Structure 1
Amino acid sequence: MEGGLAPLGGGILGLLDFVEQHEEAVEYDLLTRGFRLREFGNERHDWRDLWVLVRRLQVEPGTALRHAVHGELWPVTDQLLANIVDALNHANWQRVGKKNAPKPKRTPRPWEKTKAQRIGADPIPISQFDDWWESKSKRR
């Protein structure tokens, strides 16, 4: 399970690290099932119970934990429809026959990172900010 519970360290500490990383999603999914996070770690609900719930919740469709761990996932039918739309757009673009016509853009998939324009760079340390600010004002 990529990004899930398996790659983390074993035992209770690995579970607690995972829960800490995705605390809001874990709490929400537990609340919708009638549990509270604070109820675990005792005789009634031991750590194994929490581990089993978290392990299942991260692969169950529609849970907040699955979305937090794996991001938005499309069903196979939606993926196929996006591929069909892309193929039709590309075929129509080819049939137009105009060399200057812009190539159609691919239907965005939520799991793919966009190639957005990045403005700026890494943050400037406070000690260098004044010099940077002055150099920008002199250019005007």
Structure 2
Amino acid sequence: MLDKHQDAVEADLIRAGLRLRNVGTAEFDWRDLLVLIRQSARESALMAAAHPDAARWGQSEFLLAELVDLTALLLWAKTKDGAKNRNRPRPYPRPGVEDPGARRVTGHAVPLTEIRDRLRTLRTHAAERG
């Protein structure tokens, strides 16, 4: 954790009135540092660095997103689309929750030279037929 997020750990330690350079002393041993890291609050610099979505989204944010979704559904229900059950509003994006209606594009990149070769072949076949 220190290798990846040392600045964030140090920022949290400073807020607690401690310093990383004091780890290993009688007043602040390695176990103390481990506990501080493992029990980092959602609002801590370490959580923001290591898990940015989790740090930004707490219970209040999830409840607000739920209210946004319910409001959108209520408004939609009063429309012609709502009466015909079409064009339902999408839920507000949340971390860790995938939108089932979102389109996913998969595949791999094709080199431009290969695309040109394929187009040349298609043109050749079209010219031979027509």
Coarse TM-score class (shorter-chain normalised): 0.5 to 0.7
Task: Mark the runs of 5 or more structure 1 residues left unpaired by the alignment.
Answer: 1-17
TM-score relative to the length of structure 2? 0.61
1:52 aligns with 2:35: yes
TM-aligned CA distance change 1:78 to 1:133, over 3 Å = closer
Q: Which residue of structure 2 aligns with residue 96 of structure 1?
A: 79
Aligned residues: 113
Deviant stretches of 4+, over 4 Å: 113-120
Greater helix fraction, Structure 1 or Structure 2 = 2
Identity %: 34
**Which secondary structure does the structure 2 equivalent of 1:41 belong to?**
coil
1:77 is the counterpart of 2:60: yes
- For residues 64 and 17 of structure 2, the distance between their equivalents in structure 1, rounded to whole angstroms, comes to 37
Query: Unaligned stretches of 5+ in structure 2?
Result: 120-130
Please tell me the residue identity of whatever aligns with 2:78. R
Instruction: Please give the root-mean-square deviation of Cα atoms over the aligned residues, in Å.
Output: 3.2
Q: Which residue, 4, 7, 19 being the options, matches 1:36?
A: 19
Tell me the CA shift for residue 86 of structure 1: 0.9
3-state DSSP of counterpart to 2:78:
helix
Highest CA radius of gyration, 1 or 2?
2
1-structure distance, mates of 2:98, 2:20: 33
Residue matched to 2:94: 109
Between the aligned partners of 1:72 and 1:97, the Cα distance in structure 2 is 39
- In the alignment, is the contact (CA less than 8 A) between 1:73 and 1:111 conserved in 2? no
